[in-house]
Structure 1
Amino acid sequence: MSTIEPNALYDRDPLEHMALFEGVRTKRIFAFLIDVVAIAILTFLAGIAVFFLGIFTLGLGWLAYAFLWQGVAILYSAFTLGGPYSATPGMRAFGVELRLFDGSRPTPLIAIAHVVVFWVSVTMVTPLILLVSLFSDKKRLLHDIIVGGVVVNSAALSRPY
């Protein structure tokens, strides 16, 4: 029995190894919900810190409130999706991770691009852009295609075929 090497994943037909993509769409939805809650909690905590910063800076620090949610979401993605597990905590809870076409893990900069393209596409084109995954061969979304990545089941990467 052989196992699939991560960097050989993307040269193969996805229909040949369906275990890589089984249930990825559903897992991503629930992972997103967990991540939104985590970002909301972190934003609340950062908001408390900004409040005290504003007091110490005589109100100047309160300007950070304008970009607090976005800043927390970008840092969250950079450190989690761009980290050693290639997955946010929500993605890890559901056993999926992001890999690039060459099989490598995304860097923090690619993770930031991934999240920024996601939010820009969803807000400017409407959430209907998420329907792209219904027509994609590897259940990829538009922002996955743009950054050159694919979300796969973590356990299937080392599963023998």
Structure 2
Amino acid sequence: MAPSSSHSSYGGRPLPDAMAAPFLYDGITLKRCFAYGIDLIILAMIGGLLWLGISTLSFMTLGLAGWFLWPLAPLVPLAYHTLLIIGPRGQTIGMRLMGIEVCTLEGSPLSFFHAVLMVALFYLTLTFPLLLAFTLFNSRRRALHDIFSGTLVINSDALR
């Protein structure tokens, strides 16, 4: 029923609950932890390259470039997650490796605004243990930022 090339779809209907389709949500919490760990490693590498570039430019401009560029550095994780989540697969690199994807409650791709909202809420509520504990008390394993942004994380190959 789902297209084979991109985001999941459930025939325009809302994705089923965990009781009707447990395969969509099996192991999501653990997969999300590992996916985020992979993304953190990638962001650390990007941060290292960013640090090298900004430091070099700052040195070359006697510190002037640093005043303008360093405040932009915290936007890198927001841009990384947002731009990859609105991509054709709805996955960051870590999510792709772990076989999960983000979608709306209907199973459609996220819009740019939807993705920014989800990622911003994630970083605002980054009391990570609390987020993970919340996933244990609902059938679709949704974290607080998923509920507030109206998104789901599902096993990406479950509908293909």
TM-score range, shorter chain: 0.7 to 0.9
Alignment of 1:102-113 (within 5 A): 102-113=106-117
- The runs of 5 or more residues in structure 2 that have no matched partner are 3-8
Q: CA deviation at 1:23?
A: 0.8
* SS of residue paired to 2:121: helix
Q: Is the 2:101–2:153 contact (alpha carbons within 8 Å) kept by the matching residues of 1?
A: yes
Range moving further from structure 2, 83-92 or 98-107: 98-107
Q: Is the 1:82–1:109 contact (alpha carbons within 8 Å) kept by the matching residues of 2?
A: no
CA distance in 1, matches of 2:43, 2:58: 21
With structure 1 as the length reference, what TM-score do the two structures score?
A: 0.85
Q: Verify: 1:48 aligned to 2:47, yes or no.
A: no
Q: How many residues align?
A: 153
- The runs of 5 or more residues in structure 1 that have no matched partner are none
1:120 to 86, 102, 124: 124
Q: Which runs of 4+ in 1 moved over 4 A?
A: none
Residue 17 of structure 2 corresponds to which residue in structure 1?
Answer: 13
Over the matched positions of the two proteins, sequence identity in percent amounts to: 31
CA distance in 2, matches of 1:112, 1:127: 22
Residue 94 of structure 2 corresponds to which residue in structure 1?
Answer: 90
Q: Verify: 1:130 aligned to 2:135, yes or no.
A: no
More helix by share: 1
Residue 100 of structure 1 corresponds to which residue in structure 2?
Answer: 104
Q: Is the 1:81–1:111 contact (alpha carbons within 8 Å) kept by the matching residues of 2?
A: yes
CA distance in 2, matches of 1:51, 1:111: 31
One-letter amino acid of the counterpart of residue 12, structure 2? N
Residue 65 of structure 1 corresponds to which residue in structure 2?
Answer: 70
CA distance in 1, matches of 2:120, 2:129: 14
2:40 to 13, 36, 41: 36
With structure 2 as the length reference, what TM-score do the two structures score?
A: 0.85
Q: CA deviation at 1:146?
A: 1.0
* SS of residue paired to 2:21: helix
Q: Once the two structures are superposed, what CA deviation does each residue of 1:92-143 show, in whole Å capped at 9, x if it has no partner?
A: 00110001013211123322222221121125xx632331101112000001
Q: Is the 1:51–1:62 contact (alpha carbons within 8 Å) kept by the matching residues of 2?
A: yes
Q: Residue 60 and residue 109 in structure 1: after superposition, are their counterparts in 2 closer, same or farther (change >3 A)? A: farther
